[in-house]
Amino acid sequence: MTITKICCIGAGYVGGPTCSVIAMQCPHIKVTVVDISKHRIAQWNSDKLPIYEPGLDNIVKQRRNVNLFFSNDVENAIKEADLVFISVNTPTKTFGVGKGRAADLTHVENCARIIAQVSTSNKIIVEKSTVPVRAAESILKILSANHKPNVKFQVLSNPEFLSEGVAVENLLNADRVLIGHEETADGFWAFKELSKVYLNWIPEEKILRTNTWSSELTKLAANAFLAQRISSINSMATICEETGADISEVARGIGLDSRIGSKFLQASVGFGGSCFTKDLLNLVYICEHLNIMQVAMYWQQVLDMNDYQKSRFSNKIIESLFNTVTGKKITMFGFAFKKDTGDTRESPAIHVAKTLLDEGAKLNIYDPKVEHEQIQRDLTHPYVTENPEAVMKSIEIHNDPYYATINTHAIVICTEWDEFIELDYKQIYRGMIKPAFIFDGRKILNHDNLTKIGFQVHTIGRR
Ligand code: NAD
Ligand code: UDX
């Protein structure tokens, strides 16, 4: 079998960009991305894609309706495909056993059932969603128990390592492509077939072959290690604030050690995004389930440190504003969990906003890419407030960063958007209530210049 038709179930932040890049690099393959959400598919087929990702619009424009298709016809796309990516969401469970920690595999399981039900030919099934170790076993069990006679499946693990905001770049120049397979001749054959797809643009030495369980665990391990670096540097930032050391200098000093490396040492208001928290919770749950409590506690601490960092930053704002923000207007610059994305999932900005709203502050919020309705949805969510009407009265969402600062007491930077560095802070200062404060939760501004202008500047990891 040579793969000529790919179906991807899940048209989200992973399925959409990944399949767009595959379609671009493999013009001989027909790629169909399907989703149960009519709205999402309509957006993929429109001029305004459902996600903002630099470089993606261009690729979709080139390949859409050529060899890249977005559809709600899940069944037919699976039926005609040689290879099916499962790229659906695997959120943290919100009820039942493992509530708040274990990964909810309902969507993955639904995919397995529908694949078994509609397939009339052999297929390679690729687990792209992030899953607990041995999830492929459950998928295979469901497929085996429900398939039609003479239809065979091979299940591969091929986790995705892209970062939002640089997804296209990451997909085009992946550090590695990891493929885990069953340790049988058929498993090896399936690995070879999927490799052939990637070999259209990924050098062979970057394709890593492991057994299925190593591949699944590698994804959780990679996210755990990355998150751990951020919590580690943030823990050092706390010491800096107490002692007069400067976290930027410390990060530079340790990052030059080639064994440590300089990436992912940016102290911040805390990490966000849809992956780190969810995948760490999943890892902790797996350890608890395996009864290796010391290991569970070790990784839990990475999450605890992140919560501590978010709270510390929010509390610092309140303390600095003379211990009360009740009735005070505060500008929030940035709402996305990082720059170059419109994604707000687990954004530290939500935590900061909630704390300030709980204390009675009024918020002017500006983010260059997050949809206004998304900010409203996030801040009126039951996890954030019991009184959504009051929240709606306390927030204003702005399209202009300058306008957002007029007559406010403070600016809080939650996302490191480049445009915040370029703003005219002299002009901004003139329009603000004095003393005017800036809380730079991303360490992106020139603090000496701001102090000269007259701002009271507070940041992370520096007294
Ligand atoms: P997402 O929520 O953006 O997209 C998932 C999509 O799957 C949704 O549009 C949903 O409607 C669809 N879906 C769910 N069940 C379906 C079904 N039965 N049939 C058809 N469609 C269905 O999620 P995402 O951010 O793309 O993440 C997907 C997976 O990839 C997760 O496991 C995540 O952990 C992992 N991952 C995400 C990232 C990232 O940066 N977002 C990076 C690496 C890995
Ligand atoms: C992450 C992983 O990097 C990626 O490999 C995986 O596939 C999905 O999860 P993502 O969440 O998109 O990607 O973004 P990432 O760049 O990892 O940033 C996550 C969070 O950490 C953001 O809130 C970011 O601002 C924060 N961060 C990152 C820091 O606070 N400091 C840093 O030095 C790096």
Q: CB atoms < 10 A from the CB of 435, how many? A: 13
Going by alpha carbons, the residue nearest to atom 3 of ligand 1 is 12
| 438 CB within 6 A, ligand 1 | no
Residue ID of nearest Cα to ligand 2 atom 34 = 264
**Please, what is the Cα angle at 204 between 200 and 206, to 5 degrees?**
105
- Domain spans of the chain? 5-202, 211-463
CATH no. of 211-463? 3.40.50.720
The burial class, CB within 10 Å (0-12 / 13-18 / 19+), for 424 is exposed
Condensed to tens digits (0 to 9), the pLDDT of residues 382-425 reads 999 999 999 999 999 999 999 999 999 999 999 999 999 999 99
Classified as helix, coil or strand, 91 is coil
- This prediction has a pTM of 0.97
Q: 273 alpha carbon to ligand 2 midpoint, in Å?
A: 7
Residues of the chain under the 50 pLDDT cut: none
Cα–Cα dist 104/136, whole Å:
14
CB within 6 Å of ligand 2 — which residues? Answer: 160-164, 223, 226, 230, 264-266, 268, 271-273, 275-276, 337-338
Q: Tell me how far apart the alpha carbons of residues 5 and 271 are, in angstroms, rounded to a whole number.
A: 38
Whether ligand 1 lies within 6 angstroms of the CB of 13 is answered as yes
Ligand 1 center to 108 CA (angstroms): 10
Confirm whether 275 is a catalytic residue. yes
Per-residue confidence (pLDDT) for residue 147, from 0 to 100 = 81
Nearest CA to ligand 2 atom 1: 163
CA of 6 to the centre of ligand 1 (A): 17
Complex-level ipTM beyond the 0.95 threshold? yes
H or E element that contains 456 = strand 456-459
- Say which ligand is closest to the CA of 237: 2
Q: Can you tell me whether residue 205 is helix, strand or coil?
A: helix
Distance 204 CA to ligand 2 centre (A): 27
Q: What is the pLDDT of residue 148?
A: 85
Q: Is 72 in the pocket of ligand 1 (CB under 6 A)?
A: no
Q: Is 452 annotated as a binding residue?
A: no
Q: Give the homologous superfamily in CATH for domain 5-202.
A: NAD(P)-binding Rossmann-like Domain (3.40.50.720)
Query: Is there a binding annotation on residue 187?
Result: no
Ligand 1: nearest atom to the Cα of 129? 32
Q: Comparing 5-202 with 211-463, is the CATH topology the same?
A: yes
Q: Is 26 annotated as a binding residue?
A: no
Q: Annotated catalytic residue: which of 240, 275, 287, 414?
A: 275
- Residues forming a β-bridge with 330: 363, 410
User: What's the gap in Å between 345 CA and the centre of ligand 2?
Assistant: 12
The answer to whether the CB of 251 falls within 8 A of the CB of 239 is no
Full DSSP string of 410-453: EEEE-S--THHHHS-HHHHHHHSPSSPEEEETT--S-HHHHHHH
Q: Is 35 in the pocket of ligand 1 (CB under 6 A)?
A: yes
